[in-house]
Amino acid sequence: MIPQPERKFISHKDYLEMEEQAEYKSEYYHGEIFAMTGASHNHNLITGNVFASLRYLLRETGDMKIQIDPARHYAYPDVSVVCGEIEFAENRNDIIANPVVIIEVLSESTRDYDRGSKFKAYRNIGTLRDYILIDQYACHIEHFFKNKSGIRESEEFDRLSDVFALSSVDATLSLEAVYYRVRGI
């Protein structure tokens, strides 16, 4: 058996200090740091389209770090939405603690993480009501949400004519707007 290199545990405090000086963004998960790769053209178009669609209705934030678990997990969702005042992590003004909506644009390298352990972690954010996964390679959106009774539900959309509601923020998104000018869809 070939010995595996030992993983070095990094504290969340050390991560936050390193992130302030870093020339690239990274996410923190249970003591490990994962560098984020650059986004594709379609990824950037989709993110921009979502911002444009929600801009006049909501106070949205994008590319800001989200505190999932103060000691174990920080992530950069593609789009996040806050209702009311933004609450920041303790002693920080760059880490949001109260997202209501989180939107991720899937890529080949993040698809499993966004659907798996990252989504599981996001479910621990008490304020989160809507989690949306947007496929950048095909016309397909998955919407996970808490209904009025607090029960988790999901729905999927795959036609450009589809429109879905973000009831937590009283807004709608159309797939036509999300995928505007995206190639190969």
Average of per-residue pLDDT across 15-35: 82
Average of per-residue pLDDT across 3-13: 72
Share of the chain above pLDDT 90, in %: 51
Distances (CA, A) of 22 to 19, 35, 71: 5, 10, 20
**Is the pLDDT reported for residue 177 higher than 90?**
yes
Distances (CA, A) of 80 to 40, 60, 110, 138: 19, 6, 17, 22
pTM, whole model, 2 decimals?
0.85
**Is the pLDDT reported for residue 34 higher than 70?**
yes
What would the pLDDT profile of 113-149 be if each residue is shown by its tens digit?
999 999 999 999 999 999 999 999 999 999 999 998 9
| Residue 10 confidence class, pLDDT cut points 50, 70, 90 | confident
List the 79-81 sheet strands across, edge first: 60-61, 79-81, 101-106, 130-135, 141-146, 152-157
Share of the chain above pLDDT 70, in %: 91
Mean pLDDT lowest among 32-41, 98-107, 109-118: 32-41
What would the pLDDT profile of 69-94 be if each residue is shown by its tens digit?
776 788 989 999 998 889 998 888 88
CA dihedral 168, 103, 72, 85 (to 10 degrees): -50
Q: Enumerate the domain spans of the chain.
A: 39-178
What pLDDT is recorded for position 108?
92
Measured between alpha carbons, how far is 16 from 21 in angstroms, rounded to an integer?
Answer: 9
**Is the pLDDT reported for residue 40 higher than 80?**
yes
Sign (positive or negative) of CA dihedral 70, 110, 117, 78: positive
CATH topology of domain 39-178: tt1808, chain A (3.90.1570)
Average of per-residue pLDDT across 49-71: 73
